[in-house]
Amino acid sequence: MSEPATAPSSTNPPLSDRVLMGPGPCNPYPEAAAALGRPMLGHLDPDFLRILDETNERLRRVWQTDNRLTFPVSATGSAGMEICLVNLIEPGDPVVVGVNGVFGGRMAEVAERCGAEVIKVEADWGQPMDSDQLLTAHPNPKIIGVVHAETSTGARTDLAELGANKGDALLLADCVTSLGGIPVDIDSWGVDLAYSGTQKCLGVAPGLSPVTVSERARGLLLERPRSWYLDLNLISSYVDGEGARAYHHTAPISMIFSLHAGLGALLEEGLEASWARHEACGKRLREGLGDLGFRLFAAEGNQLPQLTTVWVPEGAEEAAIRARLLGDYGIEIGGGLGQYAGKVWRIGCMGHTARLRNVELLLAALGQLI
Amino acid sequence: MSEPATAPSSTNPPLSDRVLMGPGPCNPYPEAAAALGRPMLGHLDPDFLRILDETNERLRRVWQTDNRLTFPVSATGSAGMEICLVNLIEPGDPVVVGVNGVFGGRMAEVAERCGAEVIKVEADWGQPMDSDQLLTAHPNPKIIGVVHAETSTGARTDLAELGANKGDALLLADCVTSLGGIPVDIDSWGVDLAYSGTQKCLGVAPGLSPVTVSERARGLLLERPRSWYLDLNLISSYVDGEGARAYHHTAPISMIFSLHAGLGALLEEGLEASWARHEACGKRLREGLGDLGFRLFAAEGNQLPQLTTVWVPEGAEEAAIRARLLGDYGIEIGGGLGQYAGKVWRIGCMGHTARLRNVELLLAALGQLI
């Protein structure tokens, strides 16, 4: 049996404390961080179930939906993607997926593993997806899936036009990086299935994936999907406040406490105010980066305020500068993904991190390092 | 759009604080609870990766294994069950599953959804599984799956004999309720795949599922399992400390901080001391319950110290008594599952809850309510 180099108690270095300006996690709202320490409750305790119901109600307000099946999946955002696909796809079902970055590619891959006939519609990275191309890619798709805010590029794709013209298809939206940071309007836009993550513009630790499912999509859920852990019918018999609470799996209590509190902070500020705060940070960041000579990566007019992607300056030592930002200033920014690894930086201003003070700090630090 | 009955800030009732003596979650170790509040780090931050590596090393000590692929799945215990099955089963693979309670039944269901030809070997609830029956149920099973500690009944099944005689089969063990509370000896027993949960005898909040995978099982992992989120090859390229860290999904940082600290507390005490503490609590609980006239449910000699199941006394109002325990004393115990709902209680002494003071408190309270 292996032995550790040091005993557990002897490894108590100082706690690192970062300004998290990568593509997530962000710094959580103080209320969300504090709520992680609430005394533990059982998953069938009436006091916990009240908090779960309130969490789901708060999620409905943030998603801007009346969808009854709205709750946090007990896993991270990619599981939210998988739960939306595995509960609806039967082998051979045609699914159109827009791919303009890593997460569209991931959606196509997950849909394929679920047995779908995937029709990929591609766009250049950094560009938004074109609605017409998605709508005409197949005569009768079961699902049209698209990423609202591409975390790999910082580009936003319009959802309203897709929702208005989807026909019989279900519209599935990846809102991992958008929810809480820019408007997301599930019911008005006609989105049938959407998922997010807690660690981006909701300002909570990573670990849960809020999802919302329209009544129409709910009526089409498979009776026995391939995944038991992600079986929406079984889960809904626990999370749905009006039925009896049928145990499915043990809910991640502390994380739900934290999400409950983080959503409370967000709604207390107000959705519009949160969007405006993210917008102001993104605007100042783009301006300041321009002043420093950076070129922006994502298409003009579709740049996300909460996630700004820039080309690494020619000749700059990309990894070394990120290491100095982290080591000397305690600031994390993100590298590029896939074909843009080493070529772009991804700078997030999400959740509690979306404060002008953080933007000014980063600009000052970059100014000294570039 | 729906409106909540009250604004978020106006709902601040006193925080409930329970003695958690159900089948999980337990009360977390103070060290584990405190660590949830560590400042957030990114999932690629070197300081976080060091903590993740230490967590995995601590898990190896608790599992008593050298298995390199040992880490916490980013979801709860049932996802640990699914990850062990979905990465190994191809359609039609014969899988033998022992069913002597809810969780054996769940394992059979998950294996079926993965496409296995499942051969169920049944035993009465409360009884251990018989090794010979499991070993002879099929001439050449790919997997023999069994629940080490049945959370629905409080019965323990021996694993060593199965491991010694498994032949070419892989031995899969559900250790959700056993790990940390009674001896679990992965390498000596010849267990190939095992999963647990953080919220039982590891004394941490629910939300993660520690798993361990032998080199032999690792060599048999499917290249492209049906689940992307639970794809062990993809995940191992992130959690395996010696390779480059390939991003798969955003790790649940705060929960891993907490598991790291909880395992530190457990190893500081010592595995043997933790087992002895759970044993002493279980012994005193069984004695005290006997003195109060309760009949134990699980088979003599196979009763788990960390989870004691008793018949509800004839004529007692089962739900009302549990409600009074919770309301008047702040103590949670669990009801029965499946066919034993309303008929048995499940009393846990797990993790930080496994203290004689809690046992004495519960016995005193039950003595007043029965």
CA distance B150 to chain A (A): 15
Flag if A1 and B110 touch (Cβ within 8 Å). Answer: no
Instruction: Tell me the pTM.
Output: 0.96
Q: For the stretch A41-80, what's the b/e string if a residue is b when 16 or more beta carbons lie within 10 angstroms of its beta carbon?
A: bbbbbeebbbbbbbbbbbbbbbbbbebbbbbbbbbbbbbb
CB contacts of B82 in chain A (<8 Å) are: 227-229
Q: Residue B240: what pLDDT? A: 86
**What is the C-alpha separation between B336 and A129, in angstroms, rounded?**
52
Flag if A255 and B253 touch (Cβ within 8 Å). Answer: no
For an interface test with B, give the residue of A2, A40, A63 to mutate (most B CBs within 10 A).
Answer: A40
Task: List the one residue out of B21, B16, B42 whose CA is nearest residue B254.
Answer: B42
Put simply, whether A1 touches B (Cβ < 8 Å) is yes
Put simply, whether A346 touches B (Cβ < 8 Å) is no
Closest Cβ opposite residue A64 in set B1, B34, B79: B1
CA distance B45 to chain A (A): 8
**What is the C-alpha separation between A99 and A145, in angstroms, rounded?**
9
Mean pLDDT score of chain B, rounded to an integer?
Answer: 95
Q: How confident is the model at residue B155 (pLDDT cuts 50, 70, 90)?
A: very high
Closest Cβ opposite residue B74 in set A20, A22, A76: A76
| Nearest C-alpha in B relative to A246 | B337
Residue B239 half-sphere exposure toward CB, CA atoms < 13 A: 30
What is the average per-residue pLDDT within B9-21? 79
Q: Give A 154-193 residues with CB within 8 A of chain B.
A: 187
Judged against a pLDDT cut of 70, whether residue A214 lies above it is answered with yes
CA distance B61 to chain A (A): 7
Q: Residue A240: what pLDDT? A: 87
Flag if B249 and A20 touch (Cβ within 8 Å). Answer: no
Q: Are B147 and B103 in contact (CB under 8 A)?
A: yes
For chain A, the residue count is: 370
Flag if A57 and B2 touch (Cβ within 8 Å). Answer: yes
Flag if B253 and A109 touch (Cβ within 8 Å). Answer: no
**What is the C-alpha separation between A281 and A293, in angstroms, rounded?**
18
CB contacts of B250 in chain A (<8 Å) are: 24-25, 76-77, 197, 199, 206
> pLDDT tens-digit profile of A222-235?
999 999 999 999 99
What number of C-beta contacts closer than 8 Å exist between A and B? Answer: 235
Strands (E), chain B: 19-20, 69-73, 94-99, 117-122, 143-147, 149-150, 155-156, 170-174, 193-195, 209-213, 307-311, 331-332, 334-335, 344-348
Judged against a pLDDT cut of 70, whether residue A62 lies above it is answered with yes
Flag if B58 and A8 touch (Cβ within 8 Å). Answer: yes
Judged against a pLDDT cut of 90, whether residue A360 lies above it is answered with yes
> pLDDT tens-digit profile of A121-163?
999 999 999 999 999 999 999 999 999 999 999 999 999 999 9
Judged against a pLDDT cut of 80, whether residue B255 lies above it is answered with yes
Task: List the one residue out of A81, A109, A76, A229 whose CA is nearest residue B84.
Answer: A229
**What is the C-alpha separation between A113 and B114, in angstroms, rounded?**
12
CB contacts of B224 in chain A (<8 Å) are: 113
> pLDDT tens-digit profile of B313-329?
999 999 999 999 999 99
Put simply, whether A89 touches B (Cβ < 8 Å) is no
